[in-house]
Amino acid sequence: MKVRTRFAPSPTGYMHIGNLRSALFAYLTAKSMGGDFILRIEDTDQERKVEGAVDFICQTLDLVGLKVDEGVGAGGEYGPYFQSERLDIYKKYAEMLVEKGDAYYCFCDEERLNKLREIANARKVPFTYDGHCANIPLEEARKRIAAGEKYVIRQRMPKEGVTSYIDTVYGEIKVENNTLEDQILIKSDGYPTYNFANVIDDHLMNITHVNRGNEYLSSTPKYLLLYESFGWESPVYVHQPLVIKADGTKISKRNKDDNLMDLINRGFLPEAIINYLALLGWCPKENREFFTLKELEEAFDIKRISSAPGCYDIKKLEWFNAHYIKELDDEKYLEWVKKYLTLDVSGKSEEWVNKLLITYKDHISCGEEINEVVKNFFTDEYNLSEECKEFLASDPVIDLVIEKFISEIELIEDWNCDNINLAIENVKNSLNVKGKLLYMPLRIKASGYMHGPGLDACIYLLGKEKTLRNLRK
């Protein structure tokens, strides 16, 4: 059977990096085994639905190169791929379970359920439905429905024994059946619950592997009991570790954690994001860190998914992104980085701007940083950091280095990097100074920064007049 995985997000807003990692693992699971990647939208929670979220999800997947083989935006023979358009399907299968005795109609109103919750809170135990309607005869239940009573359909859980399964990542998982609540399958508004719709859709869409977060490990037996009731074969479960933040908390939409478009808008490259996220909870066989998406498709193995949480570290992502920026050819880099340049370049030649941006190519970890590292080229004033000030006052020879360099710069008639380097060499030889005591004072005084690209290129871009003015401050 051909491997088929699905990414089934809810259209409740932007995609944070945890969602994207889930989509990536589902995609790589399929592609590593020659299978198909399906996009399904789980929009049964109509209250949380956000306008435009589906388009955003599709654009996000397209932006990072996760091509959808079937589903929303691609079509296919197992549609519709919006759960809100499959309500009759869910109702039919829920009614089948009622006929079999594996589900029942429940008429408990919110007032009664709230009282049960209050009792559970008072006893300091988790709330579970008490099965009050489980033994209502089917004919009586149908008469009450015909009379207009509101109802839900609940799954009838076994009260004895154990349900177990083998998870690809976590091994054998066992759950005592008496801990499983008679969960709702169809809500009073006719919409299915998340758990029920997933089982029906995964079966009807021939999903072979289900990738999802490990928070569902203990609830998977509910799914398996539904598969058993229908006489269906269950898919392979691949419960992957959560993506957590440095403080140990879970990445969440509700907490407005980093989302893909935030990263893109700041100047993170999609290739870098995908490469980094692939390594959050998965370890390749070979000792390497940089992979193209195509290389990930070939190297990915679900058996190498870790059970430990993946820690999302923005500094590590910046390191990956800096690598990918350096790998861009200059033409593509210039086209990309200029989208993030907000400084006023009017009055500057295109040649000068291009040279400036290329000079600082290896000194940024995201696009928006270009403004910070080159801002002193666009102003006549700059403020030195305390670290810079302390260094300039650290050795008496520093003042001599600066004075000598001023005299050497004044002599340059043909302003180019060769002559600037010659001026630096003359300072070195005449004062017998080198290393930090030579280069760092000149860089600090000329540009306002302690670190940066080649000193000759930096001074060339500043220009003779501005360099002298800065050195004399």
For the sheet with 4-7, list strands across it: 4-7, 36-39, 70-71
Tokens of 186: 């169809």
Strand arrangement of the beta sheet that strand 184-186 belongs to: 103-106, 152-155, 184-186
- What pTM value is reported for the model? 0.90
Same fold, 1-70+241-327 and 86-240: yes
> Which pLDDT score, from 0 to 100, does residue 44 have?
85
CA triplet 36, 38, 44: central angle to 5 degrees?
Answer: 160
Q: Identify the DSSP state of 46.
A: G
Rounded to the nearest 10 degrees, the angle between the axes of helix 330-337 and helix 350-359 is 100
Superfamily of domain 86-240: HUPs (3.40.50.620)
CB of 27 within 8 A of CB of 66? yes
What are the distances in angstroms from CA 342 to CA 116, 264, 367?
59, 16, 11
Are 453 and 326 a contacting pair, CB within 8 Å?
no
Integer Cα distance of 175 and 139 in angstroms: 33
Query: What six digits make up the tokens of 49?
Result: 């639905």
- CATH classification of 1-70+241-327, choosing from 3.40.50.620, 1.10.287.90, 3.90.1150.10, 3.40.50.2300? 3.40.50.620
Q: Which residues pair with 192 in a beta bridge?
A: 186
pLDDT (tens digit, 9 = 90+) per residue, 319-377? 999 999 999 999 999 999 999 999 999 989 999 999 999 999 999 999 999 999 999 99
The string of DSSP codes covering 124-165 is TS------TTTTS-HHHHHHHHHTT---EEEE---SSSEEEE
Give the residues across from 155 on adjacent strands. 103
Query: Could you confirm whether 339 is annotated as catalytic?
Result: no
Q: 353: closest CA among 344, 362, 364, 365?
A: 344
Question: One of 91, 245, 253, 436 is an active-site residue; which one?
Answer: 253
Collect all residues with Cβ–Cβ distance below 8 Å to 48 and sequence separation of at least 6: 10, 12
DSSP letter at 103? E
With CA atoms as reference, report the closest residue to 470 among 452, 451, 450, 443: 443
pLDDT, residue 246, reads: 79
Cα gap 314→369, rounded to integer Å: 14
Per domain, the residue ranges of the chain are 1-70+241-327, 86-240, 386-471
Low-confidence stretches of the chain (pLDDT beneath 50):
none
pLDDT of residue 255: 56
Fold for domain 386-471? Arc Repressor Mutant, subunit A (1.10.10)
CA-based nearest residue to 193, from 285, 117, 129, 116: 129
Q: Cα separation of 128 and 181, whole Å?
A: 6
